[in-house]
Amino acid sequence: MRQLTFAPRFEDWQRVARAALEQAIPPDEVVWQELNADQPSLDIFEEEVPSSGPSKRAQFRVPRAFVELARAVALNCEPVRWALLYRLLWRLTHGEPKLLEISVDPDVAVAFQLQKAVRHDIHKMRAFVRFREVAQENGSWFVAWFEPEHHIVEQNAKFFVDRFASMRWSILTPERCAHWDCARLTFTPGVDKSQAPSDDNVEALWLTYYSNIFNPARVKVHAMQAEMPKKYWRNLPEAVVIPSLLQEAPRRVEAMARKSAAKTEANEERDWHPAPVPETTSLSEVAAASRACTACHLYKRGTQTVFGEGPKRATLMLLGEQPGDQEDLAGKPFVGPAGKLLDRALAEAGIERDDVYVTNTVKHFKWEPRGKRRIHQKPNSREIAACRPWMEAELRLVKPKLLVCLGSTAAQAIFGPSFRVTKQRGAVLESEFAPKVVATVHPSSLLRQPDEESRAREYALFVADLRVALAAAAA
């Protein structure tokens, strides 16, 4: 076995690796011993460039990519890096010139992992170094503390020179410290964290600025911690406010959403023009007029107006909330999954669907996109009020003996916002719109039940409510 000693820098490793190659020492016969003392450097690789003249030393050609890879791997703190690099160098110069293209090779894979770790550490240093001002007699000096995982300080210092060229600064680390005096970059041995300042006069201003630019709507805690691991927080001034900002994020997002919705609605409201309900006894004429209504922004969201459908003098009238996705496309009420369930329940209750007038409180489909799907959104009071003239016109012209309110939106449109379906469902009530009213759940709520048992139970209660309505209408 041969022990090769060198200072742990890429250039010094080059020198001893070149000597080992010239002596044809196989990788498994070398022990790599790092020294602390500096040693002179000597370039050894030809990087695919042919020699321009005769040389007394052996020439070893390696890909340029290997030189770049080796420079990065040399900065890693793993002790195995030197043996790994020599093993790769040996294989590249002994019959495997395309070795680096074989990403599944164990040596190549480990080398790229070490390179990736170094690049990641370089990025973290650039992202998380925070300078604090230290007043001196000849002007301010800015000092930062950072704890790198690898030997990246000298490699990374040029970045800070370019970024803060007109500022005098020092970056202190446990291993190596970098200093810039606006003219010369120097390095000194590492120091303890106690040598770094803990705060400065501008820190309060920075915290105020950071708190104001913090966007709660874009917060993804897991992604944030992956990009900014907690081990860096103790050195970041803004870390003291991050927990409170995260705690306040949901409330701030909700406030931002309300503000945005109010602004959008205010802008759209200028384009809202309610169409007058015609003075006529014809349902078809009222339905035709409703298609021109632009009393709220939903006329832009829905595909078309979905008016009521059924006999003009129906004994029973069913009033739902709003059309769904399939109703919006078909232009007919209750033709989707909830409508099919309603048809089945009506049949079990002894009610013919063709004998019933069915309609909705709101005539346009309100939805939000979720992938390629359109997901139902509950209409608000302004949207319900905008459609109310059309609902009242239907009630006036149909004159049902009994009105069935399907769900809370329909029931509250008839009885007011304090009405609760859960407390008064199945009861026969009176209102100004119909002699008798029965409130029950919306059939779509049956589809949302968590299991078969609860679906069966709620469906039976729904059918019972419809039977109560039929009996009350016939009384």
What per-residue confidence (pLDDT) applies to 88?
A: 96
Q: In angstroms, rounded to a whole number, what is the distance separating the alpha carbons of residues 59 and 22?
A: 9
What per-residue confidence (pLDDT) applies to 291?
A: 92
Q: In angstroms, rounded to a whole number, what is the distance separating the alpha carbons of residues 343 and 347?
A: 6
Count each helix (H run) and each strand (E run) in the chain, helices first. Answer: 17, 14
Low-confidence ranges of the chain (pLDDT < 70): 36-58, 199-242, 261-272
In tens, the pLDDT along 209-243 reads 556 656 666 666 666 566 666 666 666 666 666 67
Paired residues of 368 in beta bridges: 375
What per-residue confidence (pLDDT) applies to 248?
A: 76
Q: In angstroms, rounded to a whole number, what is the distance separating the alpha carbons of residues 463 and 346?
A: 7
Q: In angstroms, rounded to a whole number, what is the distance separating the alpha carbons of residues 145 and 165?
A: 19
In tens, the pLDDT along 94-132 reads 999 999 999 999 999 999 999 999 999 999 999 888 888
Do 75 and 116 touch, CB atoms closer than 8 A? Answer: no
What per-residue confidence (pLDDT) applies to 226?
A: 63
Domains and their CATH numbers in the chain:
2-124 (no CATH), 129-195 (no CATH), 203-268 (no CATH), 283-474 (3.40.470.10)
Q: In angstroms, rounded to a whole number, what is the distance separating the alpha carbons of residues 108 and 183?
A: 41
What per-residue confidence (pLDDT) applies to 40?
A: 44
What per-residue confidence (pLDDT) applies to 127?
A: 86
Element at 287 (helix H, strand E): helix 283-290
Tokens 């931002």 correspond to 256
What per-residue confidence (pLDDT) applies to 228?
A: 64
Do 434 and 472 touch, CB atoms closer than 8 A? Answer: no
Beta-strand runs (E) in 288-347: 316-320
Backbone angles phi, psi at 473, to 5 degrees: -70, -30
Q: In angstroms, rounded to a whole number, what is the distance separating the alpha carbons of residues 142 and 457?
A: 72
- Amino acid in the structure at residue 251: R
What per-residue confidence (pLDDT) applies to 466?
A: 97
Could you give the C-alpha distances from 36 to 39, 41, 44, 169, in angstroms and in order? 9, 15, 22, 27
